[in-house]
Amino acid sequence: KRAAEITDLRKQNQDKFQAKENFYKQKWESIRAAQAQNAQARDKARALRDQTRQGLMEQKNRGARNTKDQSREFLYAKKEREAQERQTNQERSQYLKARREDAKRRAEEERLAQLDKFREDYEARTAQEELLRARTDALVAKMEKEEMELIQRLQNTQTVQRSAYEQLEAALGQTSQQMPPAAQRG
C-alpha cells in the first residue's frame, strides 16, 4: 500500500513536471510566434513609412510650389491691407487728437471756473470771519468794561465794609473801656 502511494505521488509529480514543461514550451513558442509576428509587422510598418515618406515628399514639393504662389498673393493683399490700415489709423489718430485737445480745453475751463469759485468762497469766508472777529472783539471789550465795573463795585463794597468794620471796632473798643471789669469777663 505504501509503495502504491509513493508510485502515485511520483506519477503525480511527473505529471506536474510534464504539465509545467508543456506550459513553458507553449509559452516559449507563443513568444517566438509573437516575435516573428512583430518582426513581420515592423517590416510592413517600415515599408509603409517609406512609401508614406515618399508620398509626403511629393506632396511637400507640390505644397511648397502652391505655398510660394499663395505667399505672393498674400503679400500683395497684405500690402494693400496695411496701406488701408495706415490710412484708417491716421484718420483715427487725428480724430483722437482733436478729442484730446477738446477735452483738455474743457478741463482747463473747468479748472479756471473751479479756481474762481474757490476764490469767491475764500473771500466770502474771510469776510464772514472778519465780521465774526469784529463782533467777538466788541463782545470782549464790553465784557472787559463790565468786569472793570464789577471790580470797581467790589472794591467800593470792600472799602465800605472795611470802613464799617473799623467803625465797629472803634465803637467796640470805646464800649469795652467804659464797661466795668466784671462785665468784660462775662
- The arithmetic mean of pLDDT across residues 35-46, rounded, is 92
pLDDT at 186 (0 to 100): 47
Q: Give the lowest-confidence range in 41-45, 96-100, 129-133, 175-179.
A: 175-179
Is 0.85 surpassed by the pTM of this model? no
For residue 150, pLDDT over 90 is answered with yes
Half-sphere exposure of 146 (CA within 13 A, CB side): 6
pLDDT at 45 (0 to 100): 92
pLDDT tens by residue, 163-176:
999 998 888 887 76
pLDDT at 180 (0 to 100): 59
Range list of H helices, the chain = 2-178, 181-185
pLDDT band at 47 (very low <50, low <70, confident <90, very high): very high
**CA-to-CA distance for 52 and 117, rounded, in angstroms?**
85
The set of cell numbers assigned to 66 is 502652391
